[in-house]
Amino acid sequence: MDNLMTAQHAAGKVLVDPVFSVVKAAKDAAEKYGMEKVVNATAGTIYDDQERFSTFSTVADVMNDLSPAQMMNYAPIDGIPGYGEAAIKFVFGDSRPDSYLSAVATPGGTGALRHVFFNYADEGETILIPDWFWGPYRIIAGEFKRNVDTYQLFTKENNFNIESLQQKVLQMLKKQDRLVVLFNNPAHNPTGFSLNEEEWKATLEFFRDVAKDKSKHIVLLLDVAYMDYAGEPDKVREFFSLFGGLPENILVNVAFSMSKAFLAYGMRCGALIAISSSDKVIEEFQEAASYSNRANWSNVPRLPQELFVTLTNDSGLIERVNRERQQLRRMIEARAAIFTKEAKQLGLDFCPYTAGFFISIPSDNPQEQAKKLQEQYNIFLVPLKKGLRYAICSIPISKISGLAQKTKQVMEG
Ligand SMILES: Cc1ncc(COP(=O)(O)O)c(C=O)c1O
């Protein structure tokens, strides 16, 4: 007998979160040297140019008007009445796919991703994600003994590497009949990359072709956590209309999160939305996702759901939120413009950034270089497997200039 109290599957599980450990180091440095001497480029939360945590006043106003029962009562297992429809309306806007649709409330995008990994991949099976990826995907999959494998997101020329995706999909489908393929789009974490319409069309054409083999079951999982920072609300949603009328053995799942879209990170609310040409697949989805809600968290916090339904059913309120969000989006764009311009001038390579919270720099030695940036310049960023991630969502514009140059210096040793 071994002397562990944990069951064997839980043995040795230690969470090393690369973001939150650097966040703490940045805070300590700010206390020691003063905030003005420190660049905290760690967390994926928006801080304004005065380094204040950003929120939307519209969201706060609506929240303050909720009754105690709206805040504190239990919610039905799959969401409060109207929540699913409100999520579908908000996420797709005018680009609603022409298919059967359904939605279940989840605690954040994380809850939605968890349900897809669990319900559409069997134990021991592998989920396909890009090689630049948000670390928790691996943790979420691993918790339930699902594996992840990666395809190369970019070619050497920094374009979308559809060949790598195709190769991996075909290779994996030789081993398993069920395959979840994840896209974090638009404004991908950690690179800020977004597929354009042509790239989506080519990708979907490939999957239509693969789906001619009816023994294969494909789930395309769209993680749209950063969608509303990728451009104008109507424009960034246009790609959804391409997802109508797909073969019945392709299910599309969209993981929606209120965390960034409404700056409501800690409220833990989102939705898992399904798109399918088969009403049976949709029915099955609804049952499985509701069952998983009950099994994992019973139900989803009521307060943010009430907030979301109130906001999205009032065009005046949602317009106000959109205006507030647009201001922050422009603030992030201005920061990114300075960073990318300086990087280009210096010849510092960075991943193809179109929009969003993060810019990443490919590196062979990210841990070491991140440490040097801390020690030499009090710059705190997140070292990833393949590079260095700057959360430009949290760096004030006054501290952006010079970051590219310091990064280059450290990388050149
Ligand atoms: C790529 C990506 N997907 C999903 C999420 C999920 O966020 P939440 O669970 O807060 O909705 C995050 C949060 O940082 C993220 O970066």
pLDDT of 1 higher than 60? no
Reduce the secondary structure of the chain to three states and give it as a string.
Answer: CCCCCCCHHHCCCCCCCHHHHHHHHHHHHHHHHCHHHCEECCCCCCECCCCCECCCHHHHHHHHCCCHHHHHCCCCCCCCCCHHHHHHHHHHHHHCCCCEEEEEEECHHHHHHHHHHHHHCCCCCEEEEECCCCCHHHHHHHHCCCEEEEECCECCCCCECHHHHHHHHHHHHHHCCEEEEEEECCCCCCCCCCCCHHHHHHHHHHHHHHCCCCCCEEEEEEECCCHHHCCCHHHHHHHHHHHCCCCCCEEEEEEEEHHHHCCCHHHCCEEEEEEECCHHHHHHHHHHHHHHHHHHHCCCCHHHHHHHHHHHCCHHHHHHHHHHHHHHHHHHHHHHHHHHHHHHHHCCCCCCCCCCCEEEEECCCHHHHHHHHHHHHCEECEECCCEEEEEHHHCCHHHCCCHHHHHHHHHCC
Locate the ligand 1 atom nearest the alpha carbon of residue 258 and give its number. Answer: 11
What is the tens place of the pLDDT at every residue in 28-76?
A: 999 999 999 999 999 899 999 999 999 999 999 999 999 999 999 999 9
pLDDT of 393 higher than 60? yes
Q: Per CATH, which fold does 8-42+318-411 belong to?
A: Aspartate Aminotransferase, domain 1 (3.90.1150)
Q: Which CATH code is given to the segment(s) 75-315?
A: 3.40.640.10
Overall average pLDDT of the 223-229 stretch? 98
In the chain, what are the domain boundaries? 8-42+318-411, 75-315
Centre of ligand 1 from the C-alpha of residue 24, in Å: 20
| Ligand 1 site, CB within 6 A | 44, 108-110, 134, 184, 189, 223, 225, 257, 259, 265, 270
Assess whether the region 8-42+318-411 and the region 75-315 belong to the same CATH fold. Answer: no
Test site for ligand 1: of 258, 259, 394, most ligand atoms within 8 A of the Cβ: 259
pLDDT at residue 2 in the model: 67
Per-residue pLDDT band for 400 (boundaries 50, 70, 90) equals: very high
Centre of ligand 1 from the C-alpha of residue 321, in Å: 20
Residue owning the nearest CA to atom 6 of ligand 1? 109
